[in-house]
Structure 1
C-alpha cells in the first residue's frame, strides 16, 4: 500500500495523511466500494414542519418548503447529527472497515440502517443516491473554496442536480467554532439542543477544555507531535489549518510546528518525512492519526519509530484529525490529551 505523492500535489494528495485530512492514495488502495443519542429521539426532524433554511459556511443559503427528512451526509457528519437525534438515510465516506465493523468515523450510528453510497475516496453511487430521493446533502469542507468533502470531482455536477447541499467548514478554524456550527445545523433540522444529553455533553466538553488548559499551563515543557503513518512516509502535522490542533494550541498545548517551507508540499498541512528521518523533531508525546486509512502505532514495524523516546516511554495516544463534530465525541479528545500531558515524562 503506497502513499507516495506526485511532485506537484493534487487536491487529493494535499489532503493526504498528516494534515487534517486524509486519505489520498492510501485511501484509494484500501477497502472496497461499497446509539447513543444526545437529542430527543429517533425522529426529531419529523416533529418540525414548515419552511426551512440554513446559511452554510460557504455563505450559501438553502431554503426548502419543509424541514429535510431525507438527508444524505458524509459519514462523520451523519455521526454528529446522530448524537443530536437526527437520522440520515444515506452516508458516503469511511463507514465500514474491511471486516465489516463500523469505521471510527461512523461514531454511534448503526451502519446497518443507513445506505452506504461509497466507503472509500472517489466512490459515490449516484444511482443509489437518486433512489433515496434526497432533500439535502451535508458534508464538511477542508479548503477555502468550500469543496464538499468526499464528493467526487468527476460526479459532483450530477450529484448537485439531485438535491441542494450544505457545508460545515473544518478548515482553518478552531474546533469549538465548528462544533457550534454543527449544533446550529442540527437545531435547524429539529434537534432539541436543550435536551439533557446535549447540555451535559457541552458541560463535559467545557470541563475537559479547562482540564487541558490547566495541564498545558502546568507542563509547558511537554512537546507534543501530531503524526500520521503510511508505509513509505511519516507525516508531521502543522497546527495552522487543522481545527483540532488549532484549538488545542489555543489552550496552550506546546506543539511541534514544522516550518512553512517544509509544509509547502503538503499544501500547508504537514511535512513529509522518510522513516529514516522520523526522529527529526524531538517530542515527549506523539498523537497518531486514528483513521482506518493510516497505519496504526501497533502495526508500525520501522525500527526508527520504535527507538523514538516517546514511543519507548509509551507516550503515544490517538488523534482524530476528522473529529465527529458533536460535543459528546470531542470530550475524549480533550481528556486523552490532557491526561497524556499530565502523566508524561520529559523524554525529548
Structure 2
C-alpha cells in the first residue's frame, strides 16, 4: 500500500537555467513548442537534465506534481495519477475542463492521448526505497507502471522528477525552483510563501498544548498502517513545528502495520486518517478495538490530507491541522 502516501526528502538535484534573464519575460502561450529566445534546462532530483530550445509552456504529468504548478498559475495540459482529478482534494475549485486526463488509475496511461496533448515537459515524483532517502534508478518514477512505459513517455517530452524525501519545507522549496524555471514570478512565489509561513506559525502555536497524534491508513482485512513521521515529509514537518508524534516502531520503511487486535497498544490524543484511501472516521469507529482508543472515544479523529508540495496546498493543510489541534485536548 503505501507508496500513495509516501513523501520524501530533497535528494539534492540542482537547478540549471541558461538565459535566466529571459524567463520572466516568457509567457505561458498555448501553442506547441517551447517559447523563449534562449535554451532552457533543468536538472532534476535523479540527476537527469531536461533540455529544450526555450522555456516550456505546455506541462503535463503526475497529479501530485502538476497540482503544485497549477497552484502557482501554470495550468497543465494533461494529467495522470492515482485517481481522477475530480476525486483529488488538490484540484478542488479548479476548471478541470482545461486538462486532458490521460490516466485515472495508477500506471494506466493513455500514451496516444498524452502525445496528442503535445506537452513540452512532463513532471513526476521520485520516491526513496528506504529511510536513508535512496532512490533506486532501476525502478520507474512514481506514476509509471514500469521503465518501458516511462521510456516511451519520455520520447514524447522530457521528464523531470522531484524527490519526495526529507521535510516538506525542503520539497516545497525544490518544487518552487521548478515553478520558477517554468516562468512563475518571484512576486507570486513570495506572496504564497508568506501565507505558508503564517500557517506554520499557527501550527507551531497549536502544538504547544502537547497533544499527540498518529497518522494512519486502515483497511478491514489488513489492519492499521501507522505512518512513520521521519519517512513522510509532511509529517516530519509537523514534528519540526512541535507536534508530538510517537514512533510506532518496527523495522519496515514508512509504515508500521498493526492488527486490529493490537491497535489498542497505540494510544494518541489525536488520530489522522487518510482521506485518499482506507477507512474514514465513521468506519473506524465501527471497529470494536479501534473505537476504544482515547482519540476515538473523545471524537478526535481528523482527516489526513495528502496535499501537493507547494506553498498554497501546504498552507491550507497546516491551517486545517492547526484548527483541529486547537480544539483537541489531552486524553492520554
Taking structure 2 as the reference length, the TM-score comes to 0.83
Please tell me whether residue 289 in structure 1 is matched to residue 274 in structure 2: yes
Deviation of the 1:346 alpha carbon: 1.4
**Cα deviation per residue 1:165-216 (whole Å; 9 max; x = unaligned)?**
1011112x11111111111111111112303xx4332112111212222332
Q: Deviations over 1:83-102 (max 9, x none)?
A: 111111100014537xxx44
For 1:44 and 1:176, the matched residues in 2 are separated by: 28
Residue of structure 2 in register with 1:112 after alignment: 97
Any conservation in 2 of the 1:95–1:106 contact (CA below 8 Å)?
no
Instruction: Tell me the equivalent position of 1:229.
Output: 218
Cα 1:138/1:108, change in 2 over 3 Å? farther
**Which is bigger in relative contact order (C-alpha 8 A, separation at least 6)?**
1
Unaligned runs of 5+ in 2: 9-25, 129-134
Task: Tell me the equivalent position of 1:3.
Answer: none
1:203-254 deviation per Cα after TM superposition (whole angstroms, max 9, x unaligned): 12111212222332x223x211111122222110101211101111112211
Which structure 2 residues correspond to residues 41-60 of structure 1 after superposition, within 5 A? 44-46=27-29, 49-50=36-37, 51-60=39-48
User: Structure 1 residue 189 and structure 2 residue 182: aligned?
Assistant: yes
1:73 alignment partner, SS class: strand
- The match for 1:335 is 319
Indicate the residue corresponding to 2:206 in structure 1: 215
- Give the superposition deviation at 1:69: 2.5
Written as runs of structure 1 = structure 2, the 5 A alignment for 1:189-338 is 189-195=182-188, 198-216=189-207, 218-220=208-210, 222-232=211-221, 233-261=223-251, 264=252, 268-291=253-276, 293-300=277-284, 301-320=286-305, 322-338=306-322
In structure 1, runs of 5+ residues without a counterpart are: 1-12, 22-42
Query: Could you tell me how far 1:108 is from its partner in structure 2?
Result: 4.0
Relative distance call for 1:14 and 1:345 in structure 2 (3 A) is: closer
SS at match of 1:246: helix
2:173 aligned with 1:161: no
Matched-pair contact (CA < 8 Å) for 1:46–1:190:
no
Instruction: Give runs of aligned pairs for residues 20-169 of structure 1, distance below 5 A.
Output: 20=7, 44-46=27-29, 49-50=36-37, 51-96=39-84, 101-143=86-128, 144-145=135-136, 147-153=140-146, 155-169=149-163
- Runs ≥4 residues deviating over 4 A: none
Aligned length: 299
Matched residue of 1:334: which SS? Answer: helix
Contact 2:65 2:124 in 1 (8 A): yes
What is the alpha-carbon root mean square deviation over aligned residues? 2.3
Q: Give the Cα–Cα distance (whole angstroms) in 2 for the partners of residues 278 and 105 of structure 1.
A: 30
